[in-house]
Amino acid sequence: MHVSIDPNAGGCTKVEGGYPPLILAAGYIGSAFLGATFVLAGFDTLIAKIMSWVLGFGMLVPLALVRDKLYALPYS
């Protein structure tokens, strides 16, 4: 498996082998479960606070992975 993240054009994932329909559906099913988890967490204050930390961490990890590409000068 190969994952590439481009700050200007998005990302690309290349997978060899496996069952393509299952791999394709996994992203949609995972997103649905994660979204449902956040909705259900909204009913309890403590769990909502915990899930906000999970969301914040999940947003910082990709930023850390492309940090060197974001700050590189294009004409240097």
Ranges of the chain with pLDDT below 50: none
Query: What is the CB-side half-sphere exposure of residue 28 using CA atoms within 13 A?
Result: 5
Quick one: pLDDT at residue 7?
72
Quick one: pLDDT at residue 40?
93
Look at residue 75 and give its three-state secondary structure.
coil
Domain residue ranges in the chain:
2-70
Quick one: pLDDT at residue 73?
57
Helices (H), 12-72: 20-41, 45-65, 67-70
